[in-house]
Amino acid sequence: MECAGKGRGTRCMGSARRRCGRCGAVAYCSVSHQMSHWNEHKEECERLEQQMKRVDVLNDFPFTFSQEAIATSQVCEKPGSRCSFLSKRGIHQLGMWMHECCCFDSEEATSSLASFDSLRSKDGGWNLLGDLCPCHGPISPISECLSSWFDYYEWRCIPLHSPVALLLHWPLTIYHAAHIACAWSSTVETRKLCIHYLGPEKELLQLAAFGELLALFPGVQVHIEFIGPAIPQQRDGEKIILCSYARCLDADCICNFSSENLSQIAITSKSTSVTLQLRSGLYHERYRDLAEDLFPHLIIAPNAGIAAYPSWLPTIELIKEMNVPAIFSDYCEEACHLAACCIKSVTGRSLSLPIQLNPFRQPMMVEDSALLLPCYSNCFLFGI
């Protein structure tokens, strides 16, 4: 990781291995850089110290690979460890997994997004055996609200050594956000759920995983507007109808026979449907283009980074005017704290949903974090 005092007038003396003795969340290359950074760091040091005390809770997952996934954060000690994790499971640079490591750079992602159709391509499946992934409808409907990865894996009859949670954190976060925002209750009578999904990036190359919404929202017509600058202009307005789950490697599995699969979905989920619509641009610029019948029950912004991007300010103002529940996520608690400060400066209000740990965060640490805090995709949630 970078020295927290980088750019303080003198060049860094080497790698940042000298941690702050109090919070342990930031590191420095030298004593001089640590001293020069103190006036800025002292404002956050106690807060970061408290966040570091919750490390064990953040790292608590039921998976058999949990310790291996946590260790991937030590990039300086284990270069390319995320690649190693995927390679051991035979999924490195395959299908939707190719976007889960540093081998796939931003230019490749932009090019792929412009042309790649993960729903029709041979690369759009799980690349796992059928007993390791949710490639078809559930054996039984959801009897109660899922509250953990263990609950989900048990319901879907998936063994805890399966890595599918690395991709399923996208649809499971939607599911969880809909419940904590009480948006789910509004669908009881209409059986419709419209979501505005802000700032999608990597998940746009993993759309097949969103087929799991067929199981998570049985009997509901789910419509999601993906809106963000990462969507290429040539794909603006594109509509994608998900009528099946991502496929497995078993040639004789029902997921690899489209007509049978569609029939199975019709039986297990009744009138369930999932439609995704792509919109290029910033939300506050594109909102007026949306049809009135697409007014959202819920707004979701994954890994938002509100404090890092000034473009969020007019979007926050718009959401305040709309008076629609909005759930945001970020990689660590500190990012959420900074976002809450920005939101209060714009709206004059505190968060309606306090910062809380997402039980369906991605169970693998984010590499190259700016802090030594544990960082996971969709780690913490908060709402306005």
DSSP string, 250-277: -TTSGGG-HHHHHHHHHHHHTT-EEEEE
213 has pLDDT over 70: yes
| Strand, helix or coil for residue 238 | coil
In a domain, 114, yes or no: no
Parent domain of 373: 60-102+119-253+270-383
pLDDT at 96: 92
The pLDDT score that the predictor gives to residue 306 is 97
334-374 residue pLDDT tens: 999 999 999 999 999 999 999 999 999 999 998 767 678 88
Residue 383 has pLDDT above 50, yes or no: yes
Q: Residues 18, 36: contact at Cβ < 8 Å?
A: no
- Residue 44 parent element (H or E): helix 31-52
Angle value at C-alpha 64, between 86 and 175, nearest 5 degrees: 80
Q: Say if residue 1 is in the same domain as residue 64.
A: no
Kindly state whether residues 28 and 69 are assigned to the same domain.
no
Tell me the C-alpha to C-alpha distance, in Å, between residue 80 and each of 40, 108, 205, 370: 32, 18, 21, 17
Place 189 in a pLDDT band, splitting at 50, 70 and 90: low
Residues 191 and 140 in one domain: yes
* Helix or strand (DSSP H, E) at 168: helix 165-180
Does residue 92 sit in the same domain as residue 45? no
Q: Is residue 115 pLDDT above 80, yes or no?
A: no
Domain count, the chain: 2
Domain membership of residue 111 (yes or no) is: no
Residues 6+ apart with CB under 8 A from 304: 198, 199, 312, 328, 329, 330, 339
**Whether 22 and 158 share a structural domain:** no
pLDDT, tens digit, for every residue of 42-52? 989 999 999 99
Query: What's the whole-number mean pLDDT along residues 250-262?
Result: 72
Indicate whether 359 and 334 sit together in one domain: yes
**For 297-311, what is the mean pLDDT?**
96
Does 352 map to a domain?
yes
Do residue 18 and residue 164 come from a single domain? no
Q: Both 330 and 354 in a single domain?
A: yes
Is 4 in the same domain as 81? no
> Could you tell me if residue 259 is inside a domain?
no
Question: What confidence tier does 272 reach under pLDDT thresholds 50, 70, 90?
Answer: confident
Distance, in Å, from the CA atom of 196 to the CA atom of 225, rounded to the nearest integer, reads: 5
Does residue 63 register a pLDDT over 70? Answer: yes
In tens, the pLDDT along 142-164 reads 877 899 999 999 999 999 999 99
Q: Which residue has the higher pLDDT, 117 or 240?
A: 240
Residue 241 inside a domain? The answer is yes
Percent of the chain with pLDDT over 70: 86
Q: What is the mean pLDDT of residues 38-43?
A: 91
* Percent of the chain scoring above 90 in pLDDT: 66
Are 181 and 296 contacting, i.e. CB atoms less than 8 angstroms apart? no
Same domain, 41 and 79: no
Q: 22-31, 179-188, 330-339: which range is least confident on average?
A: 179-188
Backbone angles phi, psi at 195, to 5 degrees: -125, 135
My answer on whether 304 and 346 are in the same domain is yes
Residue 264 has pLDDT above 50, yes or no: no
Do 366 and 238 share a structural domain? yes
Region 78-99: what's the mean pLDDT?
Answer: 85
| Strand 273-280, strand 221-228: pairing | parallel
Averaged pLDDT of the chain: 87
Residue 207 in domain: yes
pLDDT value at residue 268: 47
- Prediction pTM value: 0.90
- Asked if residue 262 is part of any domain, the answer here is no
Round to the nearest angstrom and report the end-to-end CA distance of the chain. Answer: 32
